[in-house]
Each structure stands twice: as structure tokens, then as C-alpha cells.
Structure 1
Amino acid sequence: MAMIIQPMPEPMVVVQPAMVQPVMVQPIHQPVIQQPPGPVVIRPPLKDRPGRMKCTCCHQEMVTVTRGVNGVLTWTIFGTLLVCGIWPLCLIPFCVKSCKDIEHTCPSCQNVVYIHKRM
């Protein structure tokens, strides 16, 4: 009688993942430093008239100097009057200050600090 030898099957190993414990993360608390409220500077919007403000260039408190400069509104009125055929009157916007943009400058350093645009 011939004997048949069969290899033994390898034992099956079952690996279960380890139970992961939930990790509690506590936020790091930064100390809150409260400063006393300082003076609130509310700058009025600069329009047609000179206004008080701090110069961005020389850092001095001053009252601005204003002058009219030709802007978009000036050229729009000029173009409209020219196209309508009223060519003698189309130069009026260049003479009227209420049609021009207002340029605010610092009196000490002559730096332009703000331009109020009409359009």
C-alpha cells in the first residue's frame, strides 16, 4: 500500500486591529490682554472744503489746501456738450469748480493726501 503524504495546511492567523482609544485634545488657552480703549479718531470725509487730518508723508496735523483739477465729470460734460453741437459752451466745465475733482494737499510738504472725485 502506498502512502500519500499531503502537506498540512498552514494554520490561519487572524489579526484584529487594536482598539484605538480616543484622544482628547484640549485647546491651549492664550491669555487675553485687554488694552484700555484709546482715542477713536473719526476723520470726516474730505469733500469740497479743506479738512483737518494727519499727513501721510510728514505725519503732521494740518488743515488741507484744496484746488480743483479736471476729472472724469469735467470731461464727460465737455464731451456731451461737444457732441450735442453746443461747442462754444463746452468749455464751461473747465472754468466751474463744482465740475472739477478736488485735490487736498498738505501745506508743509505739498504732498497730495486725498482727491475727492465727483464721478
Structure 2
Amino acid sequence: MSVPGPYQAAPGPSSVPTAPPSYEETVGVNSYIPTHPAPVPGPTTGLMTGPDGKGANPPLYYTQPVPVLNPSANTTAVQTVFVQQPVSFFDRPVQMCCPSCNKMVVTKLSYNAGVLTWLSCGSLCLLGCVLGCCFIPFCVDALQDVDHYCPNCKALLGTYKRL
């Protein structure tokens, strides 16, 4: 009886070669695919969240087991971690999930003087509007920067700068 060489088939019931397992089967890739939660119906305010006019995506989340500090108990707590998509702030209210109070809110706007306001004021001064007309840009919201606040917890959520 001869020993099979590197290029000889071993004697056995099947001489048909079988394919080795794939990388995904071996390592277990794609064994857990997180699913997105169902979208939460929000208030119909007619407000847009971005320049394309589409609504905000619901926050993504995943759960991760967290070890418990008590080693005598054989239990693990499950912690839910919310991952929020970046929000673009503009000069109109945005519907989003507040990271401070974790509530779905429509932001409250606050206007304050920014670079465009001061440049407009200086330009009007150079044009001769010195008797108080140069301060008109401080009264026009379209020339000022916009701060977005949470109406629930009053936290600053973001700022839109004109320049």
C-alpha cells in the first residue's frame, strides 16, 4: 500500500473535492446585523430639518452587555447606547433628539449679532448712515447668527453662523 503524495487523491468513499468553508462561515462575520428601530411618528409641524426637506432619521441604537461590579452574582446588565446622526443647523427650527434630556424636540431659536451683522453695520457707516441707521442690521434676524436651544431643558444644541 502506498502513501498518497501531494498530488494523489486519498482513497475514500468520495473522490469529489469539497470547497473549504468561506471566511464568513469560519470567522462568524455578519452573524449579528443590528436592525433599525421603527420610526417614531413626530408632530406634524411642517418644519424641515435640512436643505433637502426630508425628515430626520431616527437615532440608531445598539445594546451591549456591561459587566456588573458584584462578582458573586452571575448577571449582566444590558446598556442601550444611542448613536445620533449629525444634525445640520440652519436659520429655521430643527426637529431632533436632545442629547441632554433625550427627548424629541423642535429647537427654539435665539438670534445674536455675528460677523455679518458687524460687517453690515460697518458698511452702512462707510456709506454715510452714521446717525443711527447703521444699527439697523442689529434688528434684522436674517443678518444675525442663530443659536438652537432645547425648549425642554434649555441646553444649547448648536449654532448657525452666517459667515
> What range is the shorter-chain TM-score in?
0.5 to 0.7
Which stretch shows the higher mean deviation, 67-76 or 29-38? 29-38
SS in 2 for 1:73: helix
Structure whose CA Rg is larger? 1
Distance 2:101 2:126 in 1: 45
How many residue pairs get matched?
Answer: 92
Partner of 2:152: 108
TM alignment of 1:94-105, pairs within 5 A? 94-105=138-149
Partner of 1:72: 115
TM alignment of 1:8-19, pairs within 5 A? none
Distance 1:43 1:56 in 2: 12
What 5-or-longer segments of structure 2 have no aligned partner? Answer: 1-25, 38-56, 59-84
- Is 1:43–1:53's contact at 8 Å kept on the other side of the alignment? no
Deviation track 1:72-107 (CA, whole Å, cap 9, x = no partner) reads: 111111112123332232100000111111111001
Of structures 1 and 2, the one with the larger relative CO (CA 8 A, separation 6+) is 1
Which amino acid is 1:77 matched to? Answer: S
Quote the sequence identity (%).
35
What 5-or-longer segments of structure 1 have no aligned partner? Answer: 1-28
RMSD (CA atoms): 2.4
Which amino acid is 2:88 matched to? Answer: P
TM alignment of 1:1-119, pairs within 5 A? 30-33=27-30, 34-39=32-37, 40-41=57-58, 45-87=88-130, 88-119=132-163
Partner of 2:77: none
SS in 2 for 1:113: strand
